[in-house]
Structure 1
């Protein structure tokens, strides 16, 4: 059995290894990698249980990680661990026995304030690691623990349902630490880590863009509300410079088409006008939802064109758009 200090060292080493292996959480990691590839002090240590959702290694008194299994299309949402009234997520016990070793391991990790890793399934045998997460309370009548992310572990979650500021903060933190990385993983998996518009394949330069923002009640947390876009095309999409029609064609804003600028504008944006998306998911159920595309496209059409600003450069009547300077 490892000592308490060794327990903490193992966790820190595991999270450092995951940072390197997944490029700070950008990329998912496979089931076998989690079982076979991590070593601590020369010995192989599995970071995930082979069968159960809770990983409580025999050498520890505490749980090390928790897992949310991937659910195929046809289920409700790809992840539906909704925040409670305090804005924090819940994680179910292993079965219903409070004294099961896995549940005791979670309880002990909570008592010591130890960080855990949450592996969220985004495809069969493929997981998005979220870390660190903390258990801050237990709700035995519901057979579950209350899970918090960065900074929230110092708050007492129970009974805070009436504190609006805390709830908004907790919900915002949850989306950033849990839902957004999982959404990214699902979208990248569906689009085979390629930009839908230009086919760029560099994970660090790609984002998972929402068709309809997640703050909108129509902005569902599902791949069909997502597009894999490189950072330039994501920014252009969010800024209303371009849009995708319900029949998957790209439209560039009219004033941008009339603008003259460098190669990025000419070849990276203007040339896309009228083209179809270059990459769409193979599974029909993962392809962009036409109704959601219509919502964004209608906003794009209604928005006024943003003419280039005229910038005063120091001479009366002369702006940056003029071609000559007085002699």
Structure 2
């Protein structure tokens, strides 16, 4: 396949992924990825059994899957870059050859993070920027600029900080969103809205705080209006999972959105995940509730 044709096909694939994942709430199901078609042609976007997708006719790898529990121990390092282990077999042939071609040509890849069985968070585009034969791994970056920074092992601190910031924005936050929305069955914990495109993963303790980790017990699946109200302390959630609305907001007179969308939520019980391990941490809720209470 001509490189220009392949590049254009990748753009079309990524456009579809953005649209579909956006409608879902930020993630895709395995079936959607395996049954993808374009131009009347079947083009699975992940492999049926491996963590790498090298379609026939493509000069470079199309997608890779990263999973902390996978057999290849693909790990993100402290520098915000992904160390993606060589695939089984000849280190300079097979699947590894197409990854190396992607590094040489700068062809963009799709990274799928497997957050839960059958569910994937797309992160794209990503780029193969270096090859570490001594540790049998490729280095994957979230920005094409790292292709032109020389040896990524010798990055200056501002470049490392940029990589870490990118990882937080493009890797950690989308992964957090997927885990939280799946835990809540793609439903607002307050009003039960089920449109994934209108839902967010809200931090209980903000990620600017030391305890504000991107873990499911520190998250709530909220529709966008309730997320905004929560962030502005118009709405709070007590450690016993009860929703409370700020007194001034309760007394305010406005249109139907305020009345039905916010004021009528006062006193409702939060809808929590079925799995106990995914439910909101009561200590974290107490931390946030204390701050809400001073404004309520």
TM-score by length of 2: 0.88
The match for 2:198 is: 205
Residue-pair matches, total: 293
Q: Post-superposition shift, 1:220?
A: 2.1
Q: Could you say what the CA RMSD is over the residues aligned between the two structures, in angstroms?
A: 2.6
User: Is the alpha carbon distance of 1:71 and 1:245 closer, same or farther for their aligned partners in structure 2, counting shifts above 3 Å?
Assistant: farther
Higher mean alpha-carbon deviation, 63-72 vs 190-199, is at 63-72
The match for 1:60 is: 58
Q: Is the 8 A contact 1:48 1:65 kept in 2?
A: yes
The match for 2:76 is: 82
1:241-260 matches, within 5 Å, as: 241-260=234-253
Higher mean alpha-carbon deviation, 58-67 vs 87-96, is at 87-96
Q: Post-superposition shift, 1:258?
A: 3.5
3-state SS of paired residue (1:23)? helix
User: Is the alpha carbon distance of 1:152 and 1:244 closer, same or farther for their aligned partners in structure 2, counting shifts above 3 Å?
Assistant: farther
Q: Post-superposition shift, 1:8?
A: 1.8
Q: Is the 8 A contact 1:137 1:147 kept in 2?
A: yes
3-state SS of paired residue (2:22)? coil
Any runs of at least 4 consecutive aligned residues in structure 1 with deviations exceeding 6 A, and if so which?
A: none
User: Is the alpha carbon distance of 1:108 and 1:213 closer, same or farther for their aligned partners in structure 2, counting shifts above 3 Å?
Assistant: same
Q: Post-superposition shift, 1:180?
A: 1.5
1:69-148 matches, within 5 Å, as: 69=67, 81-85=75-79, 87-95=80-88, 98-148=91-141
The match for 1:176 is: 169
User: Is the alpha carbon distance of 1:267 and 1:127 closer, same or farther for their aligned partners in structure 2, counting shifts above 3 Å?
Assistant: same
User: Is the alpha carbon distance of 1:89 and 1:285 closer, same or farther for their aligned partners in structure 2, counting shifts above 3 Å?
Assistant: same
The match for 1:315 is: none
Larger Rg: 1
Gaps of 5+ in 1: 73-78, 306-327
Task: Please give the per-residue CA displacement for 1:137-173, whole angstroms capped at 9, x wherever unaligned.
Answer: 222323222222245445426144442x323322222
User: Is the alpha carbon distance of 1:298 and 1:142 closer, same or farther for their aligned partners in structure 2, counting shifts above 3 Å?
Assistant: farther
TM-score by length of 1: 0.80
The match for 1:288 is: 280
Is structure 2 residue 236 aligned with structure 1 residue 236? no
3-state SS of paired residue (1:137)? strand
The match for 1:8 is: 7
